[in-house]
């Protein structure tokens, strides 16, 4: 099953006998809150889920967006109407990062049928709703472990034994700038692979063949294992999604650079090389 769905295909599914559960997870780093945008107009029937408070735990030593408490995440999904047997489609404003985070969390906790709306709300051509739905509670019970997850030590080891991709902008990887975290640079051994290069100008994913070619050039097809990190585990989930489209499985280092760089004892590499 492809992990993305086009807007026309989603419209057909919503008009069919078994419409998917819709989750609106609009969020953008440094941007306005997603809830007002949701209230102004969303896909009919979509339930709003907040990335900062419902798709992440409180920020701290584990990073800016550590994984949420699994039991609390399950409660959020059940309130949104997610069942173990339901199809789920998640979308954001078009960047895809937040939607990919929700996709990854649901897949990691064992939900078998989750897709991201390719291009997000910007790709939707149907009507929007301003009503707040009240779905029948779902029965989804999260069981973590369905997708591979890395901690800091695991990421460091994978950078030596396999391929660890840094999904942040290249200038942050090099350490030229660091607008958020304590120090700039990257995990020694990681390769720069900005997630923005996985999509076209409209924010839609490149064709699977193009993504496969990109990741092959980076060494993903020959590596025994592939891992991804970013700033705080959001855009990294988007790169894991791109890798899945290309047919390559990858682990996510959820703590990412915000966790790694918070510990002065951890090594930091700078410049264009892997270090």
Taking only the tens place, the pLDDT of each residue in 4-34 is: 999 999 999 999 999 999 999 999 777 778 8
pLDDT digits (tens, 9 = 90+) for 214-268: 999 999 999 999 999 999 999 999 999 999 999 999 999 999 999 999 999 999 9
Q: What does pLDDT average to over the chain?
A: 96
List the alpha helices (DSSP H) in the chain. 7-14, 34-40, 51-54, 70-79, 97-108, 152-161, 170-174, 208-218, 235-245, 256-260
- Residue 15 has a pLDDT of 95
Q: Which phi and psi (to 5°) does residue 70 adopt?
A: -60, -40
Maximal CA-CA distance, the chain: 56
**Selected catalytic residue, list 67, 147, 230, 251:** 230
Sheet holding 251-253: strands in order across?
Answer: 149-150, 251-253, 226-229, 163-166, 191-192
- Residue 28 has a pLDDT of 79
CA distance linking residue 25 with residue 232, whole number of Å: 16
- Residue 240 has a pLDDT of 98
Per-residue pLDDT at 1 exceeds 80: no
pLDDT digits (tens, 9 = 90+) for 170-220: 999 999 999 999 999 999 999 999 999 999 999 999 999 999 999 999 999
109, burial (CB in 10 Å: exposed 0-12, middle 13-18, buried 19+)? buried
Q: Which two tokens stand for residue 52?
A: 């900062």
* Helix-, strand-, coil-residue percentages of the chain, each rounded to 5: 35, 15, 55
Catalytic site residue 274? no
- Residue 188 has a pLDDT of 98
Residue with tokens 């584990």, as numbered in its chain: 62
Is-contact 70 108, C-beta < 8 A? no
């Amino acid at each position: 099953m492809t992990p993305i769905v086009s807007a026309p295909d989603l419209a057909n599914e919503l008009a069919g006998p078994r419409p998917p559960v819709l989750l609106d997870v609009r969020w953008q780093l440094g941007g306005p809150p997603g809830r007002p945008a949701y209230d102004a107009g969303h896909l009919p029937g979509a339930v709003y889920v907040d990335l900062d408070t419902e798709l992440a735990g409180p920020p701290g030593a584990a990073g800016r967006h550590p994984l949420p408490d699994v039991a609390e995440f399950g409660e959020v999904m059940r309130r949104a109407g997610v069942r173990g047997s339901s199809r789920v489609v998640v979308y954001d404003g078009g960047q895809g990062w937040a939607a990919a985070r929700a996709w990854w969390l649901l897949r990691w906790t064992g939900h078998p049928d989750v897709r991201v709306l390719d291009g997000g709300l910007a790709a939707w051509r149907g009507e929007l709703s301003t009503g707040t739905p009240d779905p029948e509670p779902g029965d989804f019970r999260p069981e973590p472990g369905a997708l591979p997850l890395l901690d800091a030590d695991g990421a460091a080891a994978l950078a030596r034994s396999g391929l660890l991709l840094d999904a942040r902008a290249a200038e942050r990887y090099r350490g030229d700038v660091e607008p958020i975290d304590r120090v700039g640079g990257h995990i020694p051994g990681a390769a720069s692979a900005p997630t923005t290069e996985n999509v076209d100008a409209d924010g839609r994913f490149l064709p699977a063949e193009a993504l496969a070619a990109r990741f092959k050039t980076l060494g993903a097809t020959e590596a025994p294992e592939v891992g991804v990190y970013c700033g705080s585990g959001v855009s990294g989930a988007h790169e894991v999604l791109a890798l899945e489209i290309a047919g390559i499985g990858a682990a996510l280092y959820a703590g990412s650079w915000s966790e790694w760089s918070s510990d002065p004892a951890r090594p930091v590499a700078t410049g264009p090389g892997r270090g």
